Structure 1
Amino acid sequence: MNELSKYLCLLLRHQPAKAELDMDEHGWVSVEQLINGVNGHSNYNLDRELLEQIVAEDNKGRYRYDEKHEKIKCCQGHSVPWVEPELEYCEPPDFLYHGTTTKALEAIVESGAIKKMQRHAVHMQADISKSWQSAERWHKTPVVLKIAASEMNKAGYRFGVTENEVWCTEEVPVKYICDRVYTK
């Protein structure tokens, strides 16, 4: 089921065309079309019951249904250029956390900022444990960066938060990284 969940993320965040999905500007696709697309374009066998289970058990709350459970999307993390994440723009907490790796940290320091890369935004968490989940998924040496989010906001940087409480901004200059945590 974990591999199928990863495949759903691939389709709903990065490659909807791979399963012939008609994705709207906020990343929503028809549940029926997703099920048919997965079954017709992969070796996976997906039905509504299994999809409901994947969504319910996802520890990051990545997926959202519409009210009628007729449409589904990933809340953030899209690299599809026409998808604009639905964010609530508001004042962030004093500090947010960004999970990454020590190798990526070298590139961050060299470039002068945490960049959104091919996604729509830099992702951060208010809960450090969720940032550890992100940092550890790369199977490299993880590190969590503590970001002075309130200070950034006062300097004019905008923050938005997704339905699953991922905080997003365009970039984080290194001067707002106030600590590096190498162990849980």
Structure 2
Amino acid sequence: MNELSKYLCLLLRHQPEKAELDMDSHGWVSVEQLINGVNKYSSYKLDRELLEKIVFEDNKGRYRFDDKHDKIKCCQGHSVSWVEPELNYCEPPEFLYHGTTTKALEAIEESGAIKKMKRHAVHMQADINKSWQSAERWHKTPVVLEIAASEMYKEGYKFGVTENEVWCTEEVPVKYICDRIYEK
């Protein structure tokens, strides 16, 4: 099921064309079309019951159904250029956390900022434990960066939060990195 969930993320965040999905400007696709596309264009077998289970059990809350469960999307993390994530723009908490690796931290410090790379935004968490999940998924030496989000906001940076409580902003200059945390 984990591999199928990763494949769904690939389709719903990065490559909807692999399953011929008609994705709208916020990343929503028809559940029926997703199931049919997965079954037709991959080696996976998906039905509504399995899809519901994947969405319900996802520990990061990546997926969302609409009210009728006719449509599905990923909440954030899109690299599809024309998808605009649905964010609630508001003031962030005093500190947010960004999970990464020590190798990526070197590149961040060299460039002068945490960049969004191919995605629509830099992702951060209010819960440091969720940032550790992100940092550890790369199977390299993890590090969590503490970000002075409130200070950034007061200095004009915009923050939006997704339905699954991921905080997003365009970039984070290194001067707002308060701490580098190397152990849980």
Q: Could you say which TM-score interval applies, normalised by the shorter chain? A: over 0.9
Tell me what 1:91 maps to. 91
Match of 1:107 in 2: 107
Residue aligning to 2:21 = 21
Q: What's the secondary structure of 1:104's corresponding residue?
A: helix
Calculate the TM-score normalised by the size of structure 2: 1.00
Once the 2 structures are TM-superposed, how far is the Cα of residue 12 of structure 1 from its aligned partner? Answer: 0.1
- CA distance in 1 between counterparts of 2:45 and 2:20 reads 16
Corresponding residue of 1:159: 159
CA distance in structure 1 between the aligned counterparts of 2:155 and 2:113, rounded to whole angstroms: 15
1:58 to 2:58 alignment: yes
Following the alignment from structure 2 to structure 1, what is the Cα–Cα distance between the partners of residues 92 and 159? 6
Structure 2 letter corresponding to 1:43? S
Gaps of 5+ in 2: none
The structural deviation recorded for 1:8 is 0.1
**CA shift at 1:11, angstroms?**
0.2
Identity of aligned residues (%): 88
Question: How far off is 1:110 after superposition?
Answer: 0.2
Distance 1:11 1:36 in 2: 13
Quick one: distance in 1 between partners of 2:23 and 2:183? 39
* 2-structure distance, mates of 1:33, 1:111: 41
Aligned to 1:119: 119
Aligned to 2:70: 70
* Regions of 4+ moved over 4 Å: none
Matched to 1:153, the amino acid is Y
Give the partner amino acid of 1:35. Answer: I
Task: Count residues with an aligned counterpart.
Answer: 184
Aligned to 1:180: 180
Letter matched to residue 42 of structure 1: S
For residues 135-158 of structure 1, what are the alpha-carbon distances to aligned partners after superposition, in whole Å with 9 as ceiling and x for unaligned?
A: 000000000000000000000000
Scaled by the length of structure 1, the TM-score of the pair is: 1.00
Match of 2:79 in 1: 79
CA-to-partner distance for each residue in 1:47-84, whole Å, 9 max, x for gaps?
00000000000000000000000000000000000000
- Separation in 2, partners of 1:37, 1:144: 37
